Every structure is written in C-alpha cells, then in structure tokens.
Structure 1
Amino acid sequence: MLALLAIAVLLKAAWFSRLGLGQDRELVDFDAFYIVAKLVWHGTVEQAYQFAKLIVIQREASGGHDSFMPWTYPPQFSLLLAPFALIPVGIAYLLFTASTLALYLAVLRRIAGSRFVLVLIILFPTIGITLACGQNSFLTAALIGLVCLFFEERPAVAGVALGLMIIKPHLAIAFAVYAILRRSWVVVFTAGAVVLASSVICTALFGVQIWTALLQSVRDSSAFLEQGYYPLYRMISIYAALRTAGLSASGSFVGQVAVAVLALGVVLIAVYRKMPVRESLGLTAIVSVCISPYAYDYDFLIFGIGLALLLPALLANAREWERGIIYILPIPIGALGYMRATQMAASHKDPQWLDVLSIGGFAILPLIALIVGILLLRSSSSETIQSVPAQGPLARI
C-alpha cells in the first residue's frame, strides 16, 4: 500500500507538470496553492482574496477553463506556500504532498500502533482524494494527530500544533474547546501565542489590508455557499447533505448548528465524565469534522486520527457487527470522493449521478453517532485501555 502511494505521488507530479498527462485539464487545489504562492512573491497576495481578480488569474493559468476556486485561507497559509513558487509546479506538488503525507503516516502509525494497517486500509480512498487534488489535509490531520499525541506529556508542543491549525481554524474548534474545558492552559496560551505571532508576521509582510481582504473573501464565500456555488456533493457536513437533498439554505444551516452543538456536547460530556484521555481526544477528533458546514471529503482524514485513538476502546466495547460498520462505512465515503475529485480534475463535464447528493454528509453522522453511542452509553473505564497495549506518549494516559 505504501508503494502504491509512492507511485501515485510520482504519477501525479508528472500530471501537474503536464508531462504527457493533464495537457488540457481543469485546475485543482494545488494549482490554486501554487498561484497564491506566486502572488506572494509578486507582492499582490491580496488579489487572491478579490474573487473578481482571482478568477481571471485562474482562467489564464488553466488555459481558458472557467472553473473557479475561491481563496479564503488565512494569510499564514499563503506565507507557508510561498517557497513552493520558486520551483516548477510538478516538483512543488511532489515536495509538498510527499512531505505532508509522510508526516501524516508517521503520526498515524505512532497513534495506531499495531493497528496501523487496518486504519490505513479504511482511509486509503480518502488518502487517494488528497493525492488527486493536492490538498493540505495530510498536514492538517497530522497537526491534529500531534495535538493528541502530546496533549498530556508535552503540552507546549501540542499548543504549537493547535496554533498552526490557524491555516484551517474551523477544523480546530473542537480541540480549542477541549483544551479550555480541560484547563490545559499551556496548550491554550501556546496556541494563542502561535496565532498571534504568525498574525504579526503576516501583517508586517503583507500589510494591515490583508485582514480586510480576508474578511471580505469570507463574506463572499459564505454567499457562494448559501447559493450553492460550491461542489456541495463533495462536502461531508450536514449542511451540504441537507442542501443537496433540497432543503433551503437557512433550514440546512439550522441543521448544521444543531449538529455542531451536539458535537461540542460530546466533547463536554467526555471531559465531564473524566474519560481516559485517549478516548476523550479520539471523540474530539471524530466530531471536529462536524462543526463547520465547510468540510470536504479530504478533511475526513482527521476522522482517521480519532478512529486510531478509539480502536482499543471499540475493540473492547463494540459488538462484531458494529465494528464491521465502523470499518466499512468510511471506505465508500472516501471512494465516492475520490471518483468525484478525479472527474473534476479531468474535465468540467455536466454533473453525473454521483454529483448530486452529499453522500458523505449523510453517512458520516450515523457513523459518528454509532461510535459515540458505544463509548458514552456503555461502560468505559481505564481498564479498557489498559487491556489493550498502546504505544508512544499515549501509552501512559
């Protein structure tokens, strides 16, 4: 499986380089990353947040294709991407994807221990999505994994990792709440310091106006989301699920708020019941993808971190058929996302049957509900964890 991933990265790097493949193609996520990295060096990164200008830049880069990818990332991510503009796009993709994939796999292996292969099989299609579009979810999922690994023993390291999640802050909300509820002030203040320091650096490099541009792009993208301009069928939020099922934007948003409250309620209950840290962190990880309406199929890798943490407890408490559902259901979620991602990368054909419903949005809720029910409604004690050896820093919590 690791060999297949290595081959896939190399082939995709050739695709980005247009070496016999991808000669006439739509832009995908890493193309957008590369464009913004170039804007950083040109001193015009604020244009990335001005959609009227960005759409022209992307159309020129794609050779006339009309697809458009709005830019709503905080300037910290733009700064992180800047060095990749100094090398050709294919090599940039290779370095970015290979390094973040290696980091994610290393963190996942540290958490999963002897069950690494099982988790890798479950997540394999979702890994394929990220490789197909060159997204940053290997990096964000690895950062969440580092928060979990070092939360107890090295809270400063966990705080740095949590602070670096400023590149996708909506996926870190549950962990910020968890750290506050646990009164882990080293984690909280270190994360805040990282956010503050990086914001000061970005302000010094890009100017104060970069924040005004960011806020405007967030407002514009919110309007786009409400009007259904985003590929909702690739999202895994309840908002996307309800919206693609025909519910109004306001009704779908109410559903999203309800699910977000329930997700944060799970974090609160896990802390209040003083569950073993491995279990409470795992629950926080799996519900973290339910908070925001803006969660894509590739963000499901964070769920994999939570699943790896929870496997010992699930093996001890879940029935065989329940474990079967937990192992199997993530695979079609990732597989459908992979097919959609590759289709979008190949051309801009009219939507097909799989481009209608947010299947992942409908599937992820019962999956998470099943896991939460097993761990919260059945007895869960420290003896559960002690009965199954763990590895790494989590071995002692």
Structure 2
Amino acid sequence: MFLWHALGISLIALAIRSLKLSWVWVFLVAMSPAGMLNILAGQNAFVTAAFISFAVTFAVRKPALSGISWAVLTMKPHLGLIAIPMVLVRKQWNVILYGAIAFGILIAATITVWGLDPWKGFFTFTTYQQRFVLEDWRGLMLMLVPTAFMQGRVLNLGTQGAYMLHAVVALIATYLAIRAWPGKDWDVRDYLTWFVLSTFLILPYSFLYDLVIFQIVLALWYRQAEQLFLIRKPYADAIWMFCWILPLLSPVLLAYTFIQITPILLAFMLWQRGTAKRQGLAQQPA
C-alpha cells in the first residue's frame, strides 16, 4: 500500500509540475481532504487525477502522451465520460490516434496474458457489481457518493426516482457544459476546469476521494478565485476554501441537511464559467 501511494503521489508531482504549479502543491494536494480520503481508502484517485492532468495538459504539445494518458484512464472508464466528445470537438486527431493505438495495445496485452475471461467478467460481474453498489448499498455509501443520483436515494425516492432526478440534473449539466465550452483562446486551466466540473456533475457514480483532480483544479485558481466564481475577491476566497475542504464537509452537511452540496457547487461553478465566456472576460495566467 505504501508503494502504491508513493507511485500515486509521484505521478501527482509530475502532474503538478506539468501544470506549472509550485512544488508546495504536491504536498497540499496529497494531504488535501480528497487526498487523505484516497489514502485511507487505498484508492486510485492520485493515479486518475495525474493522468487526467496529463491528458489535458499535453493535448497540443505532446499528443502521444495525451492519448496514452486517456488510454490508461480506461482503468476507471466513467471518469472519461466526456473525453471523446471533448477531443472530437477540439479536432485533436493525433490524440485520438495515439489513444486508440495505446488502448489497442492494452487490450491485446490483457488478452495475451489472461485470455478473454477478464473482459467477459467486466461486462457481466463488474458492471452488475457497480450497479448493485450504486442502487443498494446504504449507510456510509450515501455520504461517499456526492452525486444527484445519491441525493435521490438520500431523499428515499427509490431507485427509479433517483435515476429520474439524476437524469434531470444530467440534462441541466449537459446544457451548462455546452454553455461553458471554452473558446479557442482559452488555456489548459480552462479546459481542465471545464472537463472536471462537467464530468463530476454528469456522473451518477463517483466518490469523494475521486475529487483529488478537483483539488488540483482549485489549486490552479488559488490566486484568482474571483475569476473562477465571478464574485468579489474576499467572498471568492471564502468559497474557494469551502470547496477545498468540501470532501470532508460534504458528509457532515448531508447528515444535518440531507442535501448533497457537491452537485450544487459544481453547477454554480460551471454556470459561472459559461458567464465568463459570454462576457468575454480576459483570462489571466495563473
């Protein structure tokens, strides 16, 4: 477990530096609320956060590395829900090519070593297990999954009602994502922010520890929170801090209010990104 987290934090360090953030953020992200939850759970959020960062950061300068990063992220495929639409709209054909080659190699390697059984298991047992976890687990599970679907379960809407609620939120999220789509002149920070906010708002299935990549996004806006939230700086800084500790606050707020605050915040931030685009606000480097 130590070696696993050492690998993850090493990848985070590379991602932080590729985003031109100072070394101190390696420690701050690793020890952030989402980072600590990831360590306690023995999960893979350091790895997924790093490769999401690589995939977006190197899309233009190093398309091969970007494509390989997207391919590696198929280890947790739902986090790449809008990756293919994003690279298609951006016409990043080299990224698609390298990603397809890398993914093909991964498939060939797994079949060569283990045969077809793992793939059959993925499309049968694994997908069934994920659905069972999402729909039937209770207790702590309701607090660890900060999505609109889980909000429905918290409100005892039943499985069908929870899916209907999430479908409404997902449609709203799709509209917000289209509205906030970065223009050609927007930078890596804008695209990474858009991808993370849109993905976690649309997904019915994600965990608080997955928000390590969200903590990296917040780090990118640390000195310019007013540009992220489009409000006066003192209030923007306060909201930034609230978002930073959100993975720890979310279960507490849910216990007392029965409200999943994360989707609300993500929707607000995505709306504000769209507003910034419509107002043509100049994006200053971080």
Q: How much has 1:112 moved relative to structure 2?
A: 5.6
| 1:75-111 deviation per Cα after TM superposition (whole angstroms, max 9, x unaligned) | xxxxxxxxxxxxxxxxxx1111012112213312442
User: What residue identity is the alignment partner of 1:304?
Assistant: Q
Q: In the alignment, does 2:141 pair up with 1:243?
A: no
The change in CA–CA distance for 1:271 and 1:174 in structure 2 (over 3 A counts) is same
For 2:134, the equivalent position in structure 1 comes to: 225
Residue 145 of structure 1: how far off its partner (Å): 0.7
Q: Which shifted more, 191-200 or 154-163?
A: 191-200
Q: Does 1:234 align with 2:129?
A: no
Provide the secondary structure at the position in 2 that maps to 1:195: helix
Q: CA deviation at 1:212?
A: 1.6
- Note the C-alpha offset of 1:234: 0.8
Correspondence list, 1:217-366, <5 A: 217=125, 218-228=127-137, 231-271=141-181, 273-274=183-184, 276-278=186-188, 279-310=190-221, 314-316=225-227, 317-336=230-249, 357=255, 362-366=260-264
- Report the CA distance between 1:312 and its aligned residue: 6.5
CA contact (8 A) 2:183 2:277 kept: no
2: CA distance, partners of 1:116 / 1:369? 29
Shift of 1:114: 5.1
Are the aligned partners of 1:289 and 1:302 in contact in 2 as well (CA < 8 Å)? no
Equivalents in 1 of 2:146, 2:53: separation in Å? Answer: 20
Q: Distance in 1 between matches of 2:60 and 2:257?
A: 36
Relative to structure 1, is the Cα distance of residues 141 and 286 closer, same or farther in structure 2, using a 3 angstrom cutoff? same
Shift of 1:296: 0.5
1:379–1:269: structure 2 CA closer, same or farther, 3 Å change rule?
A: closer
Is the CA contact (8 Å cut-off) linking 1:159 and 1:189 kept in structure 2?
yes
Q: CA deviation at 1:286?
A: 2.3
Over the matched positions of the two proteins, sequence identity in percent amounts to 20
Q: CA deviation at 1:359?
A: 8.0
The one of 359, 377, 386 aligned to 2:275: 377
SS of 2:203 mapped into structure 1: coil
| 1:298 positional shift | 0.4
In structure 2, C-alpha distance between the alignment counterparts of 1:299 and 1:333, rounded to whole Å: 12
* Secondary structure of 2:43 counterpart: coil
| Matches for 1:3-18 after TM superposition, within 5 Å | none
Assess, with a 3 A threshold, how the Cα gap between structure 1 residues 151 and 261 changes in structure 2: closer, same or farther. farther
* Alignment correspondent of 1:111: 19
Closer, same or farther: CA 272–138 of 1 in aligned 2, 3 Å: closer
The residue identity in structure 2 corresponding to 1:247 is L
- Aligned partner of 1:134 in structure 2 is 42
2:121 paired residue number: 213
RMSD: 3.3
- Post-superposition Cα deviations, 1:202-252, rounded to whole Å, max 9, x if no partner, equal 112111122221111212431342223582221111111221222211121
Cα offset, 1:125, TM superposition: 1.5
User: Does structure 1 conserve the Cα–Cα contact (< 8 Å) formed by 2:152 and 2:162?
Assistant: yes
> Number of aligned pairs?
281
Instruction: Output the amino acid matched with 2:136.
Output: Q
Normalised to the residue count of structure 2, the TM-score between the two structures is 0.83
Shift in alpha-carbon separation, 1:258–1:196, aligned structure 2, 3 A? farther
| Aligned equivalents of 1:330, 1:235: Cα separation in 2 | 16
Q: Would you say the 8 A contact 1:260–1:291 is kept in 2?
A: yes
One-letter amino acid matched to 1:326: I
Equivalent in 186, 190, 194 of residue 94 of structure 2: 186
SS in 1 for 2:156: coil
Instruction: Structure 1: state its 5+ residue gaps.
Output: 1-92, 341-353, 391-397
